Amino acid sequence: MGISMDNFIKIREVTARYDLSARTLRYYEDMGLIRSIRSDEYAYRLYDEANVTRLEQILILRKLNISIKDIQRIFSAPGSGIVLEVLGKKVDDIDGEISLLHELKEIMLEFIRQIESADFSRESDVKLLYEKAKEIKSQLADTGYHGNPATVNRLLEVTEKLDSKVPDIMIVRIPAFRAVTSGLVTFEELFSGDFEPWQESHNHLFKPVIFDAADFLCGTDGKAEWLWAVRDEVTQTDTSPYEITEFPGGLYAAAVSVDEDGESNNKVRSKMEKWLENTNFVIDSTRPLMGHMVYVDDEIRQGLGYHQMNLYAPVKLKQPFTKNET
């Protein structure tokens, strides 16, 4: 049964108006925050005025750094009680972080005063003291610091609290595999086009590669390629009109991200790069960053209030490894 298009907005118009990806809209739908429809005559998602208004409310709350879980609470309760509670808690969190920042500032100023009054023979020791706060205990000992050890301990506690979202990171080797590819397309074409419905109807062709993941999303220059690992017996005929490609595999730094609206991915990527500075690995710029959604059922997703995504940054050794090295 057809519907009048006059009262609905196309997904392409929504993504352009609010500078969102189609994937973000799908995520908000998965979390039950907005709804879309599809007509018999139009294959893409459509949104009515009420859901566009709801989307605007979501975007305002996200700008205030309100979590998806709390946004669900706000929309599920009548009146303004929950939203006032959530915003009040956010103010308390900000006050707590400001307090920690002030304390961190005072601790760092104390270190600066100690450094200025000390007689260092090597300027490089002072530079190390500034650049490597995580190793500050050993560095202070090496440079003859005689201040209060409790101050050093408190610095570590404060920086730990302020950086509580540092991801757990590990180096993994993704094996080579054969995959059907969406081709390099825009995100809107990827998630509003034909590839996703085709993939959903061909799940029998795929197999997991690592951590039960069969799919990997690679992005570059505002476009994306979706790879789905296929079983050994799958042929080009089975995947037509989509091509099979050979993924070479390789070393990757892996971390878990909260996949809400893309901001978490950027933060985790930045922290991965920082983490790598203290290893013998560097980012391999010849290969793209990849990600895959960690499968969770509805109960887990609703309990967390967000999706989870594994991010993979391609890495290589700073120095070539040889078996003769000791």
Residue 251's pLDDT is: 94
Domains of the chain are 5-76 (1.10.1660.10), 82-162 (no CATH), 169-317 (3.20.80.10)
Three-state SS at 249: coil
Tell me: pLDDT of 326 over 50.
no
The reported pTM is 0.55
Mean pLDDT of 254-279: 76
**Residue 211, Ramachandran bin (φ over 0: left; ψ between -120 and 50: alpha; else beta):** left
Residue 12's pLDDT is: 81
The two three-digit tokens of residue 164, written as one number: 């509580």
Q: What is the pLDDT of residues 57-85, one digit of tens each?
A: 998 888 888 888 888 889 988 888 999 99
Residue 236's pLDDT is: 94
Residue 69's pLDDT is: 83
Residue 205's pLDDT is: 94
Q: What is the pLDDT of residues 27-41, one digit of tens each?
A: 888 888 999 887 666
Mean pLDDT of 1-5: 54
At 269, the amino acid letter reads: R
Tell me: pLDDT of 289 over 50.
yes
Q: What is the pLDDT of residues 164-212, one digit of tens each?
A: 544 578 899 999 999 999 999 887 788 778 888 898 899 899 998 987 7
Return d(Cα 106, Cα 222) in angstroms, integer. Answer: 43
